[in-house]
Structure 1
Amino acid sequence: MTSTIASSVLSTMNSSSETSESSSSSADALQDEFLTLLTTQLQNQDPTDPLDNSEMVTQLAQISTISSIENVTTTLEGISGQISAAETLQASALVGNGVLIEGNSIQVADGVATTFGVTLGSDADSVTVTVKDSSGSVVATLDVGDMSAGTQALYWDGVQDDGSTAADGSYSFSVSASSDSTAVTATALKYALVTGVTTDSSSQLALDLGGVNDNVGLSDIKLVL
């Protein structure tokens, strides 16, 4: 699949270097203007009433401070631009890949169910997945057994408890986990396909999931399949 990166994302990457050059030029121009004014004042000062040295030193210090602040700003903008570029490259590498995000749906097509998953808050010695159809009826119960803390992918072969193959469509699932009969936090994860890279309403990097799911950020990806 061809990687899709929105033009707004590429524009953001290219603008970082232009912003840095603009800030640097602004600081240089400010220093040049001040030195020009200072030279003019010195050349035209009244010998009986020369410029106050302390005032001149204060002005020089102020200019130096402003220049330093602009240099720091330029450096931070450069770092921010590099981070944005790195995130864009990382996101574009996900295009065409399946990922797991928070959600509790499973899609079945031609008897094949999409991968799903779970994030456990701690180790569990008993994990059970309950699959329901669109009417809310339980169609399959999966005894996963023990699982370690963290995120793991899970699979359903599409076979229902009565031995028949699940019909095509959308199903929901829930995960219950425990350790020594004490409940363990379990967050359900659903499958999504990354189809492109774009930006959201706040101009933040976002992954396009093909319209089947809402766009998400990199931090929303719990596992890359």
Structure 2
Amino acid sequence: MTSITGTNNDNPYGALGLAPQANDRSTSLGQADFLRLMTEQLKNQDPLKPLDNNQFLGQLAQFSTVQGIDNMQSAMGSMASVMESDQTLRAASLVGREALVAADKVDLAAGAGTHGEIVATTAGTIQIEIVDSAGAIVRKTSVEAGAAGNVPWQWDGRNDDGEPIAAGQYSIRATSGTGKDAETLDLRLSAKVDSVSIEPTGLVLNLSGLGSHPLSSIRRVG
């Protein structure tokens, strides 16, 4: 006669693989679990050494803090979602408008010009050079800065001979002073906002001829 050996929990069906399976339980401690543990702690405390009031209040404070943090995280998540939606709607209204951004290269159609501003460090003459993709200077011009600050500048898309330029990418160089005292100045170009993209890093404006730039890098919208 075949005998069946009992398991540690005295289940006669264990050897046949019919033992009940333990239910999977979450290892995280929820609010109900926290309260249940506190209740059991109070019920089973030593009557001669009851739980100290300060210790009990400390546990309640920990519970309130954890609950408050959970609620705050939920509220902050909702707020961030609302702010992102609002920012997206605001950025969409920029499509078709002109945006000013720090840049010194631009893709232009044949005969097309560009404009922007130069950040002058002192008063005086600012020399500007337009250079094509081959490194050749196609136009030299200048503007006068009355003082340190932003100086408006524009180019009509023609070379030194007055002829329209060919389509392509052009670099703009702005300097002040001469010789060893020459200083390269920061340049900002203005272009139309073609579209707005939502990237993991935030909102990005796609500018005509200037490529994509994060919203935070835009200096001015006009």
- Which TM-score band applies after superposition, normalised by the shorter structure? 0.5 to 0.7
- How much does 1:141 deviate? 1.4
Aligned to 2:60: 60
- How much does 1:176 deviate? 0.8
TM-aligned CA distance change 1:146 to 1:58, over 3 Å? closer
1:144-202: CA deviations, max 9, x gaps?
Answer: 111554445421123322233333433222101249x96555112344442333233xx
TM-aligned CA distance change 1:162 to 1:48, over 3 Å? closer
Contact 1:207 1:215 in 2 (8 A): yes
Aligned to 2:141: 142
Distance in 1, Cα, partners of 2:154 & 2:208: 24
Contact 1:101 1:220 in 2 (8 A): yes
Distance in 1, Cα, partners of 2:41 & 2:94: 61
Distance in 1, Cα, partners of 2:204 & 2:164: 33
Q: In the alignment, is residue 84 of structure 1 matched against residue 84 of structure 2?
A: yes
Mapping 1:103-142, distance limit 5 Å = 103-120=103-120, 122-142=121-141
Distance in 1, Cα, partners of 2:107 & 2:116: 10
Q: Which TM-score applies when normalising by structure 1?
A: 0.64
Contact 2:45 2:51 in 1 (8 A): no
Distance in 2, Cα, partners of 1:110 & 1:213: 16
Distance in 2, Cα, partners of 1:157 & 1:46: 88
TM-aligned CA distance change 1:167 to 1:57, over 3 Å? closer
Identity of aligned residues (%): 27
Aligned to 1:174: 173
Q: Which TM-score applies when normalising by structure 2?
A: 0.65
One-letter amino acid of the structure 2 residue matched with residue 160 of structure 1: N
TM-aligned CA distance change 1:113 to 1:46, over 3 Å? closer
TM-aligned CA distance change 1:53 to 1:33, over 3 Å? same
Rg bigger for which structure? 2
1:39-82: CA deviations, max 9, x gaps?
Answer: 5665x557856751434323212212323433554555455445
Higher helix share: 1
Contact 1:119 1:187 in 2 (8 A): yes
Give the root-mean-square deviation of aligned CA atoms.
3.7
The alignment covers a number of residue pairs equal to 193
Distance in 2, Cα, partners of 1:75 & 1:123: 50
One-letter amino acid of the structure 2 residue matched with residue 56 of structure 1: F
Distance in 1, Cα, partners of 2:51 & 2:108: 83
- How much does 1:143 deviate? 1.6
Aligned to 2:218: 221
Contact 1:104 1:173 in 2 (8 A): yes
Aligned to 2:94: 94
One-letter amino acid of the structure 1 residue matched with residue 156 of structure 2: D
Contact 2:100 2:191 in 1 (8 A): yes
Aligned to 1:20: none
Q: In the alignment, is residue 207 of structure 1 matched against residue 204 of structure 2?
A: yes
TM-aligned CA distance change 1:211 to 1:144, over 3 Å? closer
What is the DSSP-based 3-state SS (H/G/I as helix, E as strand, rest coil) of the residue aligned with 2:143?
strand
Mapping 1:148-167, distance limit 5 Å = 148-167=147-166
TM-aligned CA distance change 1:78 to 1:126, over 3 Å? farther
Aligned to 1:12: none
Aligned to 2:69: 69
Structure 1: gaps of 5 or more residues: 1-28
Distance in 2, Cα, partners of 1:141 & 1:107: 18
- How much does 1:129 deviate? 1.0
